[in-house]
Structure formats: C-alpha cells, structure tokens
Structure 1
C-alpha cells in the first residue's frame, strides 16, 4: 500500500507537468494558426481544425477526469497505507484538485481566475511531490518480524 500511495502521489505530480505541456501546445498552436492568417471562430475551434487544438482537449480530459480520479484513489489508498500524515496530505491534494477543476471551469466566464488556476497547479505539484517523498522507504518497526535470540533455532 505504501508503494501504491507513493506511486499515485508522484503520478499526480507528473500529471501536472503533462497538463502544463499540453496547454502550452494548445496555446502556441493557436498562436501559429492566427499568425498564419487564420481566424478563430466557434466552428473551427469546435471542429478541431486549429493547430494545437488537441492540447486543449487533452488538458480538459486530464484535468476534469484523470487527475480527480487519481486524487480520489490516493485518498482511498491513504486510508489503508498507514503512512504518518498520509490521509492529511491526500486530503489536501484532493481539495486542491477540486479547487483546480472549479477554477478551470469558472475561468471561462472570469478569465482573471486563470491566474489562480495556474498557481493552484503549482500547489498541487508541490504537495503531491512532497506527499510521495514523505512515504518511508522501509516498513515501520512494529511490522517487522521479531528477531530470534542468538543461539536458538526456529
């Protein structure tokens, strides 16, 4: 369970990097589309014909489905992994992810919230990386097999 917790925490941190990469691909692709003399309309935006439009789609799917799912699984794992503070860190990650999704959706109506969306992404990355790093690399002392006194046979 400890290893699974660590892996899921690090997966969430990696997903933040993926999210940054795909949204950058989308934005730079959109910039190139405009530089090439094209016009952005609702029709060509929805049709996927804009250069880099896949970046926006991947960002939306990852951000609204995959990252929240990973955060929920991490919280469930934390309940069984017996990691000191593990539930607290997993709960904080889930809270930050919920805020992130809300900011992402609300930013379409209030673009200024996009800045908070980016800041929250950095917080998710940092908290997830710390949560994964905090997992002890060895079993706790109470779960190790008892040592036999020297000179006795088992």
Structure 2
C-alpha cells in the first residue's frame, strides 16, 4: 500500500504540472487569437471557434481541477491509512486541504480575478506538498526493515547496520 500512496502523491504533483501546462497553452493561444483579430466571449469558449483550438486548455484545466485532482487527493487520504508510512495521514490531509483551497480559489477567482494570484501560489504549494508526501513514502520504506535476526539500525549516512 506504500507504493499506492507514493504513486498517488506523485500523480497529484504531475497533475499540478498538467494544470499549469493547460493554462499556459490556453493563454498563449488566446493571445495569438486576439493578435489575429479574434474576440473572446462565452460563445467562443463553449463552441470552440475555428482558429482558437487552444480554448480546450481552459476546459481541461477546469475539469481536471474540479474532478480529477480532488478524486486523486481523496484516494491518497484513504491509502494513507493503510500505507504504514510515517506521517502519511498528515501529509494526505495537507494535500487534500490544499486541493480544496485550490478549487475554491479557482471558482471564486472568476468573480475576483486577483484571487488568481493566490490560486497560482497555492498550486506551487500543492505541488511541493504532494512531493513531500511521496518522498515520505520513500524514506519510510528505506528505514523500516523487518528484523528477523536481531534489530536493524539506520545510521546518519542512511546505511542500515545490523545490531545483533
């Protein structure tokens, strides 16, 4: 279950990168669309106007943020209870709370665009928290070995020594 936990944590970090890529794709496409004389309104967003295919980046970003990332975060929390990783539940809760904040900031930023700044900052924090969660599973795995003939001790250098 440690591997499931680690993979889910890395998946959230990867999703944050995908989110950034989708928004960048959409915004640069929008800039090009406007430079070519295009005008953006809700009809263009809903019906994928010819010449502005990058609008799909906005829709993928929203779908990913509101459904896929939260689902992965909930699965991460569930797996944390069974992963036998030190502080796994704590990291999973931090990740899940960051996802909730991220979704709310994204929704409220539509009416208060300045919140987009916090949305970006929280996205970076979410990426870091997910990496910390994943890394904790690596560290816990290296330090918890079954001791069949005595005990094992992990030294400062990370080398495992038998004490029997």
TM-score normalized by the length of structure 2:
0.84
- How far the C-alpha of 1:57 sits from its partner, in A, is 0.9
Is 1:75–1:94's contact at 8 Å kept on the other side of the alignment? yes
- 1:31 aligns with 31
- 1:137 aligns with 141
Structure 1: 5+ residue stretches without partners: 149-154
- How far the C-alpha of 1:42 sits from its partner, in A, is 2.1
Question: What is the count of residue pairs matched by the alignment?
Answer: 146
Q: Distance in 2 between matches of 1:4 and 1:139?
A: 18
Structure 2: 5+ residue stretches without partners: 151-164
Moved over 6 A (4+): none
Tell me how large the CA RMSD over aligned residues is.
Answer: 1.4
| Deviation by residue 1:101-133 (Cα, 9 ceiling, x = unmatched) | 000000001000000000000000001001101
Q: Distance in 2 between matches of 1:102 and 1:33?
A: 29
- 2:122 aligns with 120
- 1:54 aligns with 56
TM-score normalized by the length of structure 1:
0.90
- How far the C-alpha of 1:40 sits from its partner, in A, is 1.4
| Deviation by residue 1:18-69 (Cα, 9 ceiling, x = unmatched) | 0000010001111111001111122122211133111011101110001000
- 2:159 aligns with none
